[in-house]
């Protein structure tokens, strides 16, 4: 049985297969509208979410399957003191696959050790968000035609932003990528990530100012300041509007530099940017459904009707 807990769980080839399948689904969704008939997806969300949960549900419904679940810890037996291990053992009897979001780092990993069905990490604390990473990769590949030899800028809360951590780890695997980490001093990337970059001899730069870096970038990944992970409100207020991307600033950037954002956006991208052809964040949302459809098919060991073979050989 296969799970998706962290970005390194999939090989480069498996990632390519998922992205290719997601693109095939995008061009012919009706071909896939019955492949998961009779299957159920449980969404166990212990932390708020709009996009991720609805996009998982939409993906399963688009494959002809059904969904069940809860959207906050308060709605679950966690309030009675039930452990994640027990909850997933129980839910394994109700569903064929589980998507879990949890404020505690490592909770989905623990769940995967006790579940009898595949578990997908839909975000664990400030740690990982591997499905968002697949979406980001699909969007970058579709826009730039490649996943290597890119100068990628990450801007905003690089300390707590799990989407940044997961995407950096994944893009590190591709040759020639170079990273620009743009953040206030307090919100720099975690030390463990720096060590990984050093260990692999990957070229990266850290700076506080966005404008001077913009002209160099092939891709810009904006993030919001993660209010819920701050210990004190004053720091959040001081840092939250540090970067606001406007059309004026974007005039410094390459004409083909996509602007990604995992959403929700708070203030960090002005609304005027939405009409710029470089804005790719709503495309990410649409890609999210296709990626999650592809992922559910892969982990359930389903056959791709577009190719006549299973996506992943889940028995191996």
Q: Which residues bind ligand NCD (CB under 6 A)?
A: 51-52, 123, 129, 132, 162-163, 224, 262-263
Pull the structure tokens for residue 71: 């959207």
Q: Decide if 116 is catalytic.
A: no
Nearest CA-CA partner of 123 in 99, 157, 140, 149: 99
Task: Give the rounded distance of the alpha carbon of 119 from its chain centre.
Answer: 15
The nearest distance, CB 163 to ligand NCD, in angstroms, is: 5
Q: Decide if 173 is catalytic.
A: no
Q: Decide if 162 is catalytic.
A: no
Given 52, 139, 168, 170, which residue is catalytic? 52
b/e 68-106 (16+ beta carbons within 10 angstroms → b): ebbbebeebebeeeeebeebbeebbeebbbbbbbbeeeb
Q: Decide if 129 is catalytic.
A: yes
CA-to-CA distance for 295 and 301, rounded, in angstroms? 10
The nearest distance, CB 170 to ligand NCD, in angstroms, is: 15
Q: Decide if 52 is catalytic.
A: yes
> Which CB, 103 or 306, lies closer to ligand NCD?
103
> Which CB, 56 or 312, lies closer to ligand NCD?
56
Give, for 139, the enclosing helix (H) or strand (E).
helix 130-144
CA-to-CA distance for 290 and 310, rounded, in angstroms? 17
> Which CB, 51 or 89, lies closer to ligand NCD?
51
* Residue nearest ligand NCD, CB atom distance: 262
The nearest distance, CB 306 to ligand NCD, in angstroms, is: 27
> Which CB, 175 or 271, lies closer to ligand NCD?
271
């Amino acid at each position: 049985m296969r799970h998706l807990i962290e970005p390194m769980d999939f090989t480069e080839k498996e990632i390519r297969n998922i992205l290719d399948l997601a693109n095939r689904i995008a061009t012919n969704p009706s071909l896939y509208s019955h492949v998961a008939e009779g299957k159920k997806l449980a969404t166990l969300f212990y932390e708020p979410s709009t996009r991720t949960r609805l996009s998982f549900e939409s993906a399963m419904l688009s494959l002809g399957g059904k969904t069940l679940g809860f959207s906050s810890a308060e709605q679950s037996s966690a309030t009675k003191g039930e452990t994640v291990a027990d909850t997933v053992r129980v839910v394994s009897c109700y569903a064929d696959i589980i998507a879990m979001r949890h404020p505690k780092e490592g909770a989905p990993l623990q769940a995967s050790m006790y579940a009898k069905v595949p578990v997908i990490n839909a975000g664990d604390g400030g740690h990982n968000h591997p499905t968002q990473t697949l979406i980001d990769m699909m969007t970058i590949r579709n826009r730039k035609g490649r996943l290597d030899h890119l100068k990628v800028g990450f801007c905003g809360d690089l300390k707590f932003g799990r989407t940044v951590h997961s995407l950096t780890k994944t893009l590190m695997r591709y040759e020639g990528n170079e990273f620009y980490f743009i953040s206030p001093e307090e919100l720099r990337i975690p030390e463990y990530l720096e060590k990984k970059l050093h260990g692999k001899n990957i070229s990266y730069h850290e700076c506080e100012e966005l404008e001077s870096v913009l002209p160099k970038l092939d891709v810009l990944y904006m993030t919001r300041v993660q209010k819920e992970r701050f210990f004190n409100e004053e720091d959040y207020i001081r840092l939250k509007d540090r970067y606001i991307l406007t059309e004026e600033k974007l005039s410094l950037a390459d004409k083909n530099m996509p602007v990604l954002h995992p959403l929700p956006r708070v203030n960090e991208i002005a609304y005027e940017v939405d009409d710029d052809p470089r804005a790719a964040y709503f495309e990410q949302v649409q890609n999210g459904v296709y990626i999650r459809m592809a992922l559910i098919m892969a982990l359930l060991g389903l056959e791709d009707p577009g190719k006549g073979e299973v996506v992943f050989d889940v028995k191996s």
